[in-house]
Structure formats: structure tokens, C-alpha cells
Structure 1
Amino acid sequence: MTDRLPRDLPLDAHMHTDLSHDSDVPIDVYAAGALERGIAEIAITDHVDFEPGAPAYAYSTFADRERMVRDAAERWGPQGVQIRFGVELTYDRAWESDIRTHLARHAYDFTIGSVHNTLASPYRRARIEAFIAGRTLAEIVAPSFDEVAAAARSGLFDAIGHIDWVKRFVYPHVLPAAFEAAPELYEPILEALVESGTALEINTSGLRYPIGVSLPHPAVVDRFHELGGRAVTVGSDAHRADQANWGLDQGYAIAVNAGFSELTFRRGPGAARVAVAIPGA
């Protein structure tokens, strides 16, 4: 993966440490890598689930996550790496009230709302083939895309993460080209993002998986800008040390090619959003 490790970029806004159920990376490993590669700022966005029994439900406490990030920020800030206390909250309309309560009681620097596999998700490995059989693409993506649009409408989050994450889970039964050929499926999500002012995340994790494309693919980012979207962010969604900052340069290029010259970020609880200039844009 070393060919997709960029240098000298201002921000990676999506990273998971060993306080996420699906990562084993100590925060200092990410910070050291960012220092080496000239990534000026990183957001630690460990998972929080609200469905009892889900992997990140009560996996780590808010206090433990905040302490880890704030302590690391003090260690690494003087060396040139700014570390922000973020979170990736799994969104599901069934748990929206719980999410609102959590955010009212807990202060984060930066929040990502994302749709993931729930316990009853049709996209789980044991169910996916039977679910896809005989359905159109619109029917296949509806359980995911409807939730993503609701997350965007909620106004709860600074950014919505990997809006078409389902591409990874339906592959190879449904190829990325099918999504690219159906731009109309993205319209409700993009319109909700524009209306709520929520940022669209360009998630570069898809570039390192067999699907080989960002989440979402570039044409969706182009369309978001055409519709009046003005807030984007870019994150590697790293869960392992060798995934840190992976593909960020390509994510930045997607943003620039769509017409964006800056990323949108937040650096403190209740703070105003800030513009992070994209180098060379």
C-alpha cells in the first residue's frame, strides 16, 4: 500500500484506533506516521454504536476515548501534529433519539454520521446473495441509501461518512460500474446534504479494497458541487497502521476536480466550522 501514502497534506479526518472494535492501532502510531509524512492534522473518529449487541455498543467509554485523544494531542502538538477528538456514530433512524441525547451530553471536536451493517442488515455475508437475487439496483441499495439520506437530513453531524459504503458489501455480485450508471439513486442523499449544510465525506478506503473506487466515486462529488454543496471532507478511514492516510492525495484531487478549493472541518466542541485550504487548489 505504500504507493498510496501521500505527503504534506493538511488533514486526515477519519481514523480508528484500538478503542474501536475493529482496529488495533495505538494512537501514537498514527501520530508518528502523520509526522513522518507531513500530515498536519488528524481526527480520531472511533466507532460508537447505539444498537444493543452491535460491535461498537459500549465498546469503549466516552471518558476513555477523550482522555486518550486529549493526552496524545498534548504530546504530539508541539511536534507539529494536531490531533482532534472526533467520533464516527452509526446512524439508524430507530436510534436517532439516542444519538441526539448522546451528542447533547458529550462534546466532540468533529462528528461523522455513517450507516453500517446493523444486526439485521441484508448486506451481511450470510444474507447478501439471497437478498440481491431478483432485485433491481434501486431495490438493493434502498435499505442503505434511505438511512444515509435520513442521516443527512437529521443535521446531527458535521459530515456523513462513506455514503455508498454498500458498494463494498454487494461486490462482486454488483460492480461499481452499476452505481456509476445510476446517478439518480444518489440525488436524495445529495439534496439532503445540501439542504442541511452537512459535509460530504470523500472516503478513500474504497481505493484499497477490490472495488478500487472512492466512496463515493468522483462523479457523485461533481454532482454534489453542481447542486450547491459547499462542504466536503476527506478521510482515509484507517483501521490498520498501513492504512493511515492511504489515498488522501487522490481524495483531495477528487475534491479539486469537482470544484472545491477547501475542506470543511471543526476543531472543537461548539466551535465554528473552519475552512482547510487544499494545497494547489
Structure 2
Amino acid sequence: MLFDYHLHSQFSADSEMTMDQLCQAAVKLGLDEIAITDHHDIDYQDDTIEFLIDKKEYLKEIEKFQQKYKKQIKIKKGIEIGLQPHIYKECRKYISDDFDFVIGSFHTAEHADLYNGDFFAGYSQWEAYIQYLKSVLEVVQNYDDYSVIGHLDIIRRYGDFETQPELLKNKEAFDLIKQILKVIINKNRGLEVNTSGYRIDGKNPLPSFEILKLYHQLGGEILTIGSDSHNIEDITKKFDYTISRLKEIGFNQLTTFAHLEPKFHKI
């Protein structure tokens, strides 16, 4: 079974695909199932762009294409929701029980945007990484309304640094990531393997294979795979390679979701 569980349509302000184009491309690629996971970031920390979705309109559009392509592909109602400690109530209200699948992601930390670099002001490289991980840990300890954590080590993508090191090489970062993974596992939540990570160093998805090894060692089982595509060309990019590496680590299944409940598929 082949699926892509991180895809963005025109409902995401930074996507180049319409929902119909996305679905057509998935069918042509022979996918069995997709989750459309557009951005909803409440109180996003950059006033130049807005990642908010009218849920009623969004779900209605997904339902239209579920019907249109029902004989060709399964289309799940997903969302990528930006998590911050001060918006738990708003996130819970938005999610309610309307979705099949929820990616909990971190595009901001400490009320500052990662992408535009605001978050890094005043921090050294490793100080920024540590503070980001502390923010993630705080959220996963106190918020449960998500299926998987998206691109856990996305912090490596940002900041004007010459290198993007493996976070586990730093002891404090290692300890924080281990705590994050233990919380996720204990709460029966999962990780996504986001293949957009190869755009950083050409070698790793997000999270890195080293973090995925640690997740496996700790007993993590819920694992989705997604391309984080904002254009047709990136859908399922490097999936075969990534899945082969996941098998080497010891994973023997990947996960899809229906009504927020995980379903496992042998790989």
C-alpha cells in the first residue's frame, strides 16, 4: 500500500497546487491513499502571511474530491495545525472530531517565527536548538489533540548557519529529544517521516534517521510518511529510499488514520 500523508493544496497560503491537481497527481502516481493536510496556524508569528483555514469550506472541498475520486483513491481529511503553548484551547476547538488525521507541527517557538529567523535572534546555534526542543517538550507534555508530530527536527532547516548538525550529537538536545519521544509513545501518539528534509542535506528526512532509530529503540510504532508537498513534483519524492532505510532501522509497518484512529500496514 502506497500513501502520502502530508500534502498541501490552495488552502495553504504557500502551496502551488489546487486540491484537484493534487488528487490527480496522486492518482497518476498510483497512490492508494492520501491525507490532505493544509496549514492552520493560529496566531502565526509573521504578519506578512496568514495560515488560517475556514474549516467548513475546507472539509466541504475535501468531501467533493473524495466523491469525485472515490473509485481511484482514498482521500482522508487531514490538517497540519501549528502548536504553541498559549493556544491549546483554540486548537482543541478547531480539531473537535471533524478530521481523520492531525499533524501537530512547530513553525514558531517562544512567540517568534522560525522561517523568517526571528526566533534565532539572541541565540547561538545550539542555544536556539535547545530552546526549540524545550518548547516542543512543553507542548507534547500538555497537549494531546494530534495524531503525529510533524518534522520534529525542522529547526535544522532554519537559521543562518553554515552547518545543520545532527541534533542528537549534543547531550542536552539528545536528552530533550528522548524525553519528547517517550512522552509521544506513552500517549499513543506518533511521528511523521517528512521527506522534505532531504532538501537540507540530501541525506535525511525530518526527523533524521538517527532520531528515528532512537524512536524505534524506545518502542515507537506509530509512523506516517509524507512528502510535505506544495507542488506536484515533490509528491512521494524519495519514498522508496526512505522506506528501505526505515526497514533497515527495524520498522516493519507504517500508519494511516481514519477518524483519528491508527491503522497499521506492513512494509
TM-score between the two structures when normalised by the length of structure 1: 0.84
Out of 188-197 and 256-265, give the one that drifted further.
256-265
Q: 1:157 aligned to 2:150?
A: no
The RMSD of aligned alpha carbons is: 2.3
The number of aligned residues is: 261
The 1:242/1:210 distance shift into structure 2, 3 A limit, reads: same
Report the CA distance shift for 1:47/1:252 in structure 2 as closer, same or farther (over 3 A).
Answer: same
SS at match of 1:70: helix
Q: Which residue of 2 aligns with 1:64?
A: 57
Aligned mates of 1:142, 1:211 — CA distance in 2:
24
Could you tell me how far 1:176 is from its partner in structure 2? 2.7
User: What are the superposed Cα offsets for residues 21-75 of structure 1, whole Å, 9 maximum, x if unpaired?
Assistant: 1112012222222222211111000011111675445x33101111111111111
> In structure 1, which of residues 186, 197, 211 is the aligned counterpart of residue 177 of structure 2?
186
Q: Which residue number corresponds to residue 201 of structure 1?
A: 192
Deviations 1:142-196 (A, max 9, x none): 332123223433221111100011000035344234x252333421211111111
Rate the CA distance shift 1:235–1:52 in 2: closer, same or farther, 3 A: closer
* Gap runs ≥5 in structure 1: 1-8
Show the counterpart of 1:4. Answer: none
> Are the aligned partners of 1:47 and 1:56 in contact in 2 as well (CA < 8 Å)?
no
Aligned-partner Cα distance in 2 for 1:74–1:128: 42
Q: Name the SS for the 2:215 alignment partner.
A: helix
Give 2:140's aligned amino acid.
A
% identical equivalent positions:
24
CA contact (8 A) 1:91 1:114 kept: yes
Change (3 A) 1:63 1:224: same
Tell me which residue corresponds to 1:3. none
Q: Is the 8 A contact 1:14 1:235 kept in 2?
A: yes
Quote the residue 2:264 is aligned against: 275
Q: CA deviation at 1:117?
A: 2.7
Cα separation, 2, equivalents of 1:74 and 1:22: 26
Task: State the partner residue of 2:14.
Answer: 22
2:134 aligned residue? 146
Aligned residue number for residue 35 of structure 2: 43
Aligned equivalents of 1:26 and 1:124: distance in 2? 23
When normalised by structure 2's length, the TM-score is: 0.88
CA distance in 2, matches of 1:262, 1:124: 32
1:240 to 206, 216, 231: 231
1:122 and 1:112 map into 2 onto residues whose CA distance is 18
Q: Match for 1:165: what amino acid?
A: I
8 Å CA contact 1:114, 1:148 repeated in 2: no
Deviation string 1:193-229 (CA, Å, 9 cap, x unpaired) is 1111111111110113456421111111111111111
Q: Provide Cα deviations, 1:231-269, integer angstroms capped at 9, x if missing partner.
A: 11111011112111222223322332222211122123x
